[in-house]
Amino acid sequence: MASIFNFRCFCFIIALLSAFSSVSFLFWFQCSSSYRYSNQMILQKENQPINLLSFPSAWNHLSFPSKLPSKYLKIALFVKKWPHRSLAGGLERHALTLHLALAKRGHELHIFTTSPSNSSFPRYPMSNLYFHLSKPTAAGYLDQAFVWKQFQTQNSTGKAFDIVHTESVGLLHTRSRNLINLAVSWHGIAYETIHTDIIQELLRNPDEQQSYALTERITKVVEEVRFFPHYAHHVATSDHAGDILRRIYMIPEERVHVILNGVDEEIFKPDPAKGEAFKQKFGVSKSRSLVIGMAGRLVKDKGHPLMFEALRQMFVENGTFRQNTIVLIAGDGPWGARYRDLGANTLVLGPLEQAQLASFYNAIDIFVNPTLRAQGLDHTLLEAMLSGKSVMSTRVASITGSVIVSTEIGYTFSPVVVSLKNALYRVWEDGRSVLELKGQASRQRGLQLFTATKMTAAYERLFLCISNDNSKREDYCRYQSPFN
């Protein structure tokens, strides 16, 4: 414990000594992050390996070798929908980023997913990547009986699958109960969604019909608590979700693993020249001292009614803010037309491809995610952080527990108009110099935790650990800290 105390004191003293330098802000942030990680590692017996399956924190904090593993896996993935171009939600983007990376590392991937109805299926130049398509059900889900037959055929062809991975309930618990080498990644669970339901009810207009979602959600939580144990291993995509799975859903700790989402750090990175070119392309005047960015689906549960009203009021009540601020909005949805009604201060760009989105992040001063959804871990926040931008979002546990963990990174607000307005005014008053410092700290945290490389390494190690192989040449479930 003395080592932990001394480390933290050292960081604080150095930060004080350098208080008048431009790097003090970043140094204290980096020390604070290192302290949180060293706290976990120092409490372990010195030079003693740990059991990864019992590791309580996000595996992204750990450092795994970048060299290719001595064993290559045959992996089955069940995912409801495979992403096509920019038309993808967070779950689909997670599936694509992770499993293409695993295929590039030499693993054999078999992806069981639905066939698209109105577009061609993407092709990839990899001989170890196989897609097994099936017609979706009327509700758009995988036909469980059909994909199970596909799976059994592939499982009996050549060697059996080492790992079965399902993105949420791509593979239902009725099929998963006997698979000991299975991991499910949860991108939102019912208990988290209760917070969303509360927010939606509080924001409901008096003339709108009252929703019974809260009552129904409690029943859904009970159902999940009953069937979740039928999945052998659970991957939580946020620290908060991991805590819920252990405490509320009562999944044994050694079967719950936190692996935070990651995005491609080769695409999302600082590039001021691209940012300037993007602003010039869309006619963003240099007189605008604050460029706010938003991205994603422009729908109600993503918080756009809240953001729209906050901006509308601010543009009316503060002429200087209106003259100096512009909001760039990447995405489409019903609220796009409403934003256009705000006039020249808002520019709705429509959906952007990844390369365009990278330039978009470089063009803004701060990224705002006004989501009303308390579940999952939004990729757009992570993309903005890796692009070196300060971020701002709703104060929900998955975000404040894993992403915006301090004011050094960004801003949070309660999901009410007055709180959002106050946060936006703080951003405006802080100005670009403060936002740039926060952006640097934001990128540092992104590089430590939210890269695709970090996420892929963690999943690969988990899969190697739980793979159905009795002839392991090394124990992948043991972790030796490189700092020992």
CA distance 338 to 343: 10
So what's the pLDDT on residue 128?
Answer: 97
Residue 29 reports pLDDT greater than 60 = no
Determine which of 122-126, 182-186, 361-365, 454-458 has the lowest per-residue pLDDT on average: 122-126
Q: What value does the mean pLDDT take over residues 5-9?
A: 42
- Closest-CA residue to 313 (of 350, 348, 345): 345
How many residues can be counted in the chain? 484
Q: What value does the mean pLDDT take over residues 450-478?
A: 88
Could you report the per-residue pLDDT of 36-53, keeping only the tens digit for each? 444 444 445 556 889 999
Q: What value does the mean pLDDT take over residues 104-130?
A: 92
Could you report the per-residue pLDDT of 220-230, keeping only the tens digit for each? 999 999 999 99
Determine which of 21-35, 287-301, 465-479 has the lowest per-residue pLDDT on average: 21-35
Determine contact, residues 359/387, Cβ cutoff 8 Å.
no
DSSP 440: H
So what's the pLDDT on residue 293?
Answer: 98
- H runs (alpha helix) in 344-378: 354-363
Determine contact, residues 166/176, Cβ cutoff 8 Å.
yes
- Closest-CA residue to 328 (of 318, 317, 340, 320): 340
Strand-pairing partners, residue 413, are 394
So what's the pLDDT on residue 86?
Answer: 55
Determine which of 11-20, 335-344, 381-390 has the lowest per-residue pLDDT on average: 11-20
So what's the pLDDT on residue 200?
Answer: 84
So what's the pLDDT on residue 261?
Answer: 97
Determine which of 83-87, 168-172, 258-262, 426-430 has the lowest per-residue pLDDT on average: 83-87
Residue with tokens 């929900």: 396
Residue 25 reports pLDDT greater than 50 = no
Residue 245 reports pLDDT greater than 50 = yes
Does residue 203 or residue 473 have the better pLDDT?
203
Q: Does residue 250 come out as left (phi exceeding 0), alpha (psi in the -120 to 50 range) or beta?
A: left
Residue 392 reports pLDDT greater than 60 = yes
Could you report the per-residue pLDDT of 254-297, keeping only the tens digit for each? 999 999 999 999 999 999 999 999 999 999 998 899 999 999 99
Residue type, 176: S
CB atoms within 10 A of CB 324: 14
Q: What value does the mean pLDDT take over residues 370-394?
A: 94
Q: What is the percent of the chain with per-residue pLDDT over 70, rounded to a whole number?
A: 88
Q: What value does the mean pLDDT take over residues 133-147?
A: 95
Give the pLDDT band (50/70/90) at residue 472.
Answer: low
Determine contact, residues 309/339, Cβ cutoff 8 Å.
no
Does residue 482 or residue 149 have the better pLDDT?
149
Q: What value does the mean pLDDT take over residues 357-373?
A: 96
Q: What are phi and psi of 369, to 5 degrees?
A: -120, 100
C-alpha pair distances (Å), 104 with each of 88, 127, 323, 456: 21, 10, 48, 11
- Closest-CA residue to 36 (of 66, 58, 64): 58
Give the pLDDT band (50/70/90) at residue 376.
Answer: confident
pLDDT, mean over the chain: 88
Determine contact, residues 390/442, Cβ cutoff 8 Å.
yes
So what's the pLDDT on residue 21?
Answer: 39
N-terminal to C-terminal alpha carbon distance within the chain: 17
Residue 8 reports pLDDT greater than 70 = no
Helix (H) / strand (E) element for 185: namely strand 182-186
